[in-house]
Structure formats: C-alpha cells, structure tokens
Structure 1
C-alpha cells in the first residue's frame, strides 16, 4: 500500500538557489518509498508460508497482518515526537535501522522457530516504516521547486507501487520456492523436520533485506539532504477554537472510508495465495500463486497512472464511484464463481483499488482550511484499519475462505456511499497560508 502524502503538514523548505539540482536527493528519498512498499508486500507471500510452518488457522494467520497495522496506530505519535527531537534526516536513519533490526530479528524467529517472536519482529519492522512515512513525506513535498511538487509526489507513489509489484516475485522465489509447503499442493501435511526446514527458508531473504536497509541508512546519514525551513499551515490555537472538524462531512465519513478500504485491500492481498491455491480455484502451489500476486499489485500501479490522467478531466468523486462499482462487481464474481474466473476476478480488483486510498485521502481533507493538519492526522491513523483483516480470517474459519470475501464486497459498498454522498464537503474553509 502507498503511504499517504500529507502535503498540508509538510515543512516548507528555504527557496531553492538558482541552478540547484535536487534530483539526487529525490532519487534517494524515492528509494525509501520503494523499500517500504516492497517490505510490506513480502508479507503477502510470508503469511501462507507461516500458516504452514506454524499450522495456523486463518484467524491466527491474519492476526500477523493485524499486528503489522497496529504498529501504524501505536508508532505514529511517538514518531512525530522523535522527529521533533532529533530532526528529519536522523529520523530517516533511525527508521531504516529499526527496520533492519526487525529483519535480522526475523532470522532469529526462523531459527527457533517462534510464532511470538515472528509477531514481535514484524511489529518492529512496521514501526520503522511508520517513522519513515512520517519523516519522508515532508521531504518529498519540498525537495525542488513548488511548481513540480505534485509530479514528485506522484513519482514516489508510483515507485512505492513498483516495490509492491516486485515483492511477490521475490517472496515466491526465495521463500515459497525454497520451502516444502510452498512447492506442494494444498492439503499436503508436513513432518516436523520439514516445518523446521521451511521456517529457516526465510533467513536468507531477510538477511538480504537487512543488508539493503543498512546500506540505505549509511547513505542517507552521509547525504547532504536539503535543509528544512519554517513550518507550513500552522494555525494558531485561537483560530482552531473557531472551527470544528465535525462540521466537515467529507472528513467525518472519510476517516471510516480509509479504515474500511484498508480492510478490503489488505484482506485481498493477504489471502490471495491461499485462495488461488485451492483445488476448485486454480489448484496452484503457493509458489505459483505468489507469482500471480504480482499481477494484482501491477494492476494497482497501472491504475494509479491511469487515475492521475483521468482525474485531470473528470471529478475525483466520480472516478472513485466507478472504481467502487467495479470492485463490487469483481469481488462478487470472486465470491460466487470457481476456477480461473474467480482467480482473475480477484486479480482485477487491484486495478479498481488503485485510486481509492489517495482519492479518499484527498477528498477527506478538501475544504478543511486551517484544520487540514488535524484532519490529515486522523486520516493517517485510519490506516490502522488494516489490522481488522483478522475479522476476515475469522470469517474464513467460520464460513469458508471464499465466502469471507463478502466482507470485501461490503467494504466496496461503503466506498461507493462515500463517493456519491459522504465526500461532499460541508462548512468549507479558505485554505491556510503557507509560511516560507
């Protein structure tokens, strides 16, 4: 999933000197978006692997992803305090080293092996990603001239999607492809020795990830990133007393829209491999199914480029409504059909999901004026909705994996409601002045 781009809370940079070349800094920062997208989506191939290693039910499997998104909620505010204390550049380094520590901890969890240690280390990795998101977004917004800020933000979003698209192939080859459970058909029972060998197959991938993160941390620590100037869009306490976030319908319904959408996106991605591996769907091994996951995330990348083009000509809420209807249709097909029809319907939902997060986010802060910063913070914390993927895991255990996608269908209906009515702004305020 792409991180929210919070332009309203960005920090204004000093005006660029004539002839200043910010491309190296932007390239380096874009690599961070790529890496956290890449590492987040490795979970989609890791979950079916851990389900086999620890003999988990779907509730226990999806709880792993819930822990990941709980970290967003828990670590967001501490991350902001840390940035205020040590600065943005040092915070980027701390975030990368935190992720590296969690990745190395995954090798410990694999050596034992331990479900509890695995949960702890994934929480550590996600906390590092949260710190990166809070610190990196303002940098991307201000590196270079203000006139090209939008293009820069779209670029890093696309690179985040590139990371999510490439990660399934990495996970399928180095995790699922090197394990007994990943290369066997659904229903194969593993011996204790095979489970131990499978658990240890994640050691090499996470050592490689940790090494890349440490190198990035060293590079960023030594790189002369642009200096940050005065804060932008900072309304005084007296101004804030005159306004109320509750008067803005687009925000009030936008926060649950982000929360609910994350349930849909994360549920589809994390149960994809298990779903298409079933005999009555595609009857694939987990390794083969992991390769098809690339198409799901690739569709999201293509959809973001297409959406950015279309929304220059058509209102964003109309595009969001069409996407919600499309997602509702293909998820209904996924739930009630079988074979490759169901598999490709599930893959195609990535195309419709692609524009949902950034569009809901943008519509949610529309017209907030001096309250934009507070409203943006609420929308960012709503990312924790991904933690409720455990509800779909419970439904899968209770009613079957395929029927559990009815929860996704219901989520698409709420997004449609938001596009048609909930996103209409009320109590619009003039935009705040940007302080340079």
Structure 2
C-alpha cells in the first residue's frame, strides 16, 4: 500500500478516534510552529528597532509584512487547499515558511531591513497556507459537535509557543544592550556600524534552526498517511464558493471579529517589551521574561478555556473574556507602575480562546462553504498588519507614549464582545 496515498473520508463518516490520533498530533505541531513564528515577531520588533535604528511606526512594518501576506495569500491558499487537499497544502506551507526563515541569514549579513521584511512576508505566505489548511482540518478531524473544543486544544500548543518564543528570544536574540540617540551619535561610524551588525546577526542561528525543523516536519508529513476529509453535498460532490460563503451572516461577523482580534493580539504583544521597559522600568531581558509569563498565561488560558467549554457555551465564554479584556486595557492605559504590565499579562489569559473560538463559531453550520469560509477568516488576519501600524503611529504622535496606544486594542475587544453576544448567531432561513 502507498502510504502517501490519503484515505478519503467524508464528513458524515465516523472513523475511530484512534485513526485520527496521529493526524491530530501532526496538526498540533503546526499550531506550535506558527506560534513560534508569531511570538518571535514580538522579540524582533524591539530588537530590529535597535539594530536598524527605527521609530515605532517603522518597527511595526514587521507585523505589516507578515500579516499583509495573509490578506494577499488567503485566496491562493484556499485554491491550493481546494485543488490539492489538506496534506499537500500543509507541506507547501511548511516549505514556504522555511524558505523565509533561511532568508534571515542574508538579511542579517547585509543589515538590510527591507530584506528582513521580505523574509517575513515569505514567512507570512507560508503561515497563511498552513493556517488555511490546518485550522479547518483540526475542526473536521472528528466529531463535529466537538470542533470548537478540538480547535482550542490544538491552539493550546500555539499558546505554548507564546511562552517558549520569548525565552528563546531573550537567550539567543536580545543582547540586553541599549544606547540612547545621544550615545549613538557620540560613537564613531565604525563602532556604530559594528554595534548594529552585531545586534542583527543574533537572529541568524534561531531562524536557521527553525527552518531546519520546518523542513524536517514537512518530510514527516510527506511520508505520513493522513485522511483527506471531504465535505459532500447531497449529490456527492464537494461544493462551495468563495464569495458565496459570505451569505452566512454569522461568518461575515466572524470575519470582522477575527480582523479586530488579530489586530488586538498583535498590538498587545508587539509593544509588550517596550511597555515593560517604559511602564515597569524593566531592562530588555527582564521585559522579555515578562513576555514569557504572558505566554504562560496565554497557554494556561487555552487549556482552561478548553475545559470551561465543557460547561459554558463557547460564545458566552468569548463574551465574558472580551469584557474582562476591555477592563484590563483600561488598567493598561490609565494605570501607573509595574502592575500595568501585569494587566497586559492577564489580557494574554483572556485573549487565549478568541481566535479558535471565533474561527469555530464562524464556520459552524456552513457545510460546503467551510473551505472558502476558512479562507475569509484567514484573510481577516490582515488586521495584524493594519492595526499595529496605527498603534505605532499613535504612540509616535504622543511622544513615544506606549500606554495611549493600548486604546486601539480596547476598541477591538468591544467589537469581539458584540460578536460573542449577538454576531455569532446563525440566521435561520
């Protein structure tokens, strides 16, 4: 038997849970890997801000490069998924992701911020293909009634990466060195260039290792026999159209909610280290450890949320968590001292369930439109490209005041609250 030949299973068949175990474990590894990529961005923003001598707005182009790729690649990723299936899509995503990681080497060697941005855009393209295929695959890989819980369980390992990535960044990327503009100006050109190059070069080894891991996982996927689950209509042929999927009102609201959720999450993490330095008075490496604590709380929130969903409807839990996040944003904006940083850490706990829950609620009951609907939800990740840029601009406008920037995530959580209260409802014809 050819082990590369996928097993075709329709959505109404119910194979044993054991047959889904290995595929689900492999999918979980993808959630962890793209979690590493996203959470290393939170390290790259303050790090490349130093290495490339950037302002806040320029530094957020790191987020823009990654998340704008989601917008541009969502339709092609959906087409790849529809044409070649889940397994081929996931392998393609891994290899594109790896190529972007390897491009960090010439970017660091040439100290070229543009090359870094191109590398991050390529990584974003790979992540888009991965998420377009892995999210719905995790959702349909088992009992439909437990799709949202399954997504939250898989996404818990994405949260695990939120804890590990800052530790990796603190140990291998961040130097702990920081110079004011006056100190940089006082340096000789040779000394200043050597400092910038040293800062940039520290990213090379972590991203080389990440690229090698991605290639290895792609090879494992290639030689694994994964079930290719098909959604079928009455006549037995899989259907669904990209724009037709938007006839589902709750999917439209899910796309809006996901746009603002991703924007909020990226805003919170992108400026976390700067907030910890400015608001809490911590040095760079200590700030990174607090970001790791944020990641721990994010991970704990995923597991706790998965457990709570056994007793509380997912939309109700989403609304409760969004309301608490609004209050915590108020503390971050108007508070003083290190507890402002603690409020941001707590936001990590309450944000944790939002992406998979919005995703699960958005594709609930849309049948043949699940794959194109997933593409829309992945496209909405472009919020991570737009809102942090706005936040960086706002911070620069107010004289590098990081706290005022957190008014943007506050508005985002209000919109998510609306989705959890009303927008999630399926319109019955």
Residue aligned with 1:68, SS: helix
1:145 deviation in Å? 7.5
Question: Which residue of 35, 40, 57 maps to 2:33?
Answer: 35
The residue number in structure 1 matching 2:395 is: 396
What CA distance in whole angstroms lies between the structure 2 residues aligned with 1:86 and 1:240? 16
The residue number in structure 2 matching 1:297 is: 295
What CA distance in whole angstroms lies between the structure 1 residues aligned with 2:344 and 2:180? 19
1:105 deviation in Å? 0.5
- CA displacement, residues 91-130 of structure 1 (integer Å, 9 cap, x when unaligned): 3333222222111110110000101000000011111111
What CA distance in whole angstroms lies between the structure 2 residues aligned with 1:271 and 1:314? 32
What CA distance in whole angstroms lies between the structure 2 residues aligned with 1:227 and 1:84? 15
Within a 5 Å distance, the mapping from 1:18-33 to structure 2 comes to 22-33=20-31
Are the equivalent residues in 2 in contact too, given 1:13–1:227 (CA < 8 A)? no
What CA distance in whole angstroms lies between the structure 2 residues aligned with 1:145 and 1:263? 31
Q: Cα distance 1:82–1:415, how it changes in 2: closer, same or farther (>3 A)?
A: closer
TM-score, L = length of structure 2 = 0.85
The residue number in structure 1 matching 2:153 is: 155
1:249 deviation in Å? 4.3
| Residues 223-232 or 128-137, more deviating | 223-232
The residue number in structure 2 matching 1:225 is: 225
TM-score, L = length of structure 1 = 0.84
Structure 1 gap ranges (5+): 1-9, 430-436
What CA distance in whole angstroms lies between the structure 2 residues aligned with 1:20 and 1:246? 35
| Residues 339-348 or 80-89, more deviating | 80-89
The residue number in structure 2 matching 1:416 is: 417
Residue aligned with 1:402, SS: helix
Task: Tell me the C-alpha RMSD between the 2 structures.
Answer: 3.2
Q: Cα distance 1:235–1:386, how it changes in 2: closer, same or farther (>3 A)?
A: farther
The residue number in structure 1 matching 2:205 is: 204
The residue number in structure 2 matching 1:4 is: none
Within a 5 Å distance, the mapping from 1:71-82 to structure 2 comes to 71-82=69-80
Residue aligned with 2:402, SS: coil
What CA distance in whole angstroms lies between the structure 1 residues aligned with 2:348 and 2:140? 30
Within a 5 Å distance, the mapping from 1:283-294 to structure 2 comes to 283-294=281-292
Are the equivalent residues in 2 in contact too, given 1:295–1:347 (CA < 8 A)? yes
What CA distance in whole angstroms lies between the structure 2 residues aligned with 1:287 and 1:50? 15
Within a 5 Å distance, the mapping from 1:174-193 to structure 2 comes to 174-176=172-174, 179=175, 182-184=176-178, 189-190=183-184, 191-193=192-194
- CA displacement, residues 171-215 of structure 1 (integer Å, 9 cap, x when unaligned): 111000xx2xx3447778442221111111111111111121122
What CA distance in whole angstroms lies between the structure 2 residues aligned with 1:363 and 1:13? 18
| Residues 22-31 or 325-334, more deviating | 22-31
The residue number in structure 2 matching 1:272 is: 272
Structure 2 gap ranges (5+): 1-7, 185-191
| Residues 92-101 or 121-130, more deviating | 92-101
Q: Cα distance 1:199–1:245, how it changes in 2: closer, same or farther (>3 A)?
A: closer
What CA distance in whole angstroms lies between the structure 2 residues aligned with 1:18 and 1:409? 44
Are the equivalent residues in 1 in contact too, given 2:231–2:367 (CA < 8 A)? no
Question: Which residue of 355, 378, 381 maps to 1:380?
Answer: 378
1:69 aligns with 2:64: no
Within a 5 Å distance, the mapping from 1:3-402 to structure 2 comes to 12=10, 22-141=20-139, 152-176=150-174, 179=175, 182-184=176-178, 189-190=183-184, 191-221=192-222, 223-228=223-228, 230-232=230-232, 248-278=248-278, 281-366=279-364, 368=366, 371=369, 373-388=371-386, 389-399=388-398, 400-402=401-403
The residue number in structure 1 matching 2:188 is: none
1:59 deviation in Å? 0.8
What CA distance in whole angstroms lies between the structure 2 residues aligned with 1:363 and 1:82? 24
Number of aligned residue pairs: 410
